[in-house]
Amino acid sequence: MKRVLSEKDIKEAARKGQKTIQISKSIMVTSAARDTAKSLGITIEQISDSKPDVTESKTEKVKYKGKIAIGSDHGGFQLKEKLKTHLEELGYTVFDVGTSSEDPCDYPDYAFAVAKLVSTGEVNKGIMIDAVGVASAIVANKLSGIRAAACQTEFAARSSREHNDANVLTLGGRILGLDLAKNIVNIFLNTEYAGGRHQKRVDKINDIDIKYRKS
C-alpha cells in the first residue's frame, strides 16, 4: 500500500527551513499537504523508490485505510480542518468537499456533496460538520442508501455503527471539543456493523428507501 505525506509533514519541514521535500513515487501526497506546501513555498519532488529519504521513513508505518469524504459549513470549518489532518495521519485518503473558510454558507450544499460520494460508492464513509450536526444528518438522509447519524457521544457513534450500519457521521463543530470529536470519529470508523438481529431492521430501512425513491 502507498504511504502518506501529510500536512503535518509539510509543516514540520517548514519549521526546519526545508524548501524541497524528496519522497518516493510510492508515497501518496494528500491534497492538504499539497495546498500547505504551495502556501509555504515548499516543492515536493517524487523520486524513484531506490532513493528514499527522511520523509519516507517517517511515514513508512502509515497504512492506507480507505477513502473518506469530509465537509462542513462555516460553523464546522475549524473542526473539519483539524479532523482532516487527523484522518490523513491515520492513513485515510480524504476528499474535502468544502467549505474553505468561515464565511457564511449553506450546510445543505456540503452535506449533499458528502452524502453523494458515499451514495455512489466513491468513498467508504462520510463525515459532515455543521454547528450542531443534526441539520446535516437530515440532508444526508435524503439520499438513497445513506444512513447518517448525528453523534455527540462515543456511545452514539458505536451504536450507530453496530446497530444501524451508519455510513455518514455528522458532528457539531460548536458543541464538541477536538478530543471528543476525534474519539467519536475513531469509534465510528473502527466499529464493525454487528449484523445478526439488527439486519432485519436495516433491511426495513432499505425497503423504505427503495419503495419511496423517486425515479
CA atoms within 13 A on the CB side of 138: 7
Residue 15 in 3-state DSSP?
Answer: helix
Q: Phi then psi for 178, rounded to 5 degrees?
A: -60, -45
Annotated catalytic sites, by residue? 163
Cell numbers placing 69? 469524504
Cell numbers placing 48? 524513484
Residue 130 in 3-state DSSP?
Answer: strand
Closest C-alpha among 35, 48, 41, 51 to residue 20: 41
47 exposure class (CB count in 10 Å sphere: 0-12, 13-18, 19+): middle
210 exposure class (CB count in 10 Å sphere: 0-12, 13-18, 19+): exposed
**Hey, CA dihedral for 176, 112, 115, 70, is it positive or negative?**
negative
145 to 102, 178, 207, 210, 211: CA distances (angstroms): 30, 29, 10, 9, 12
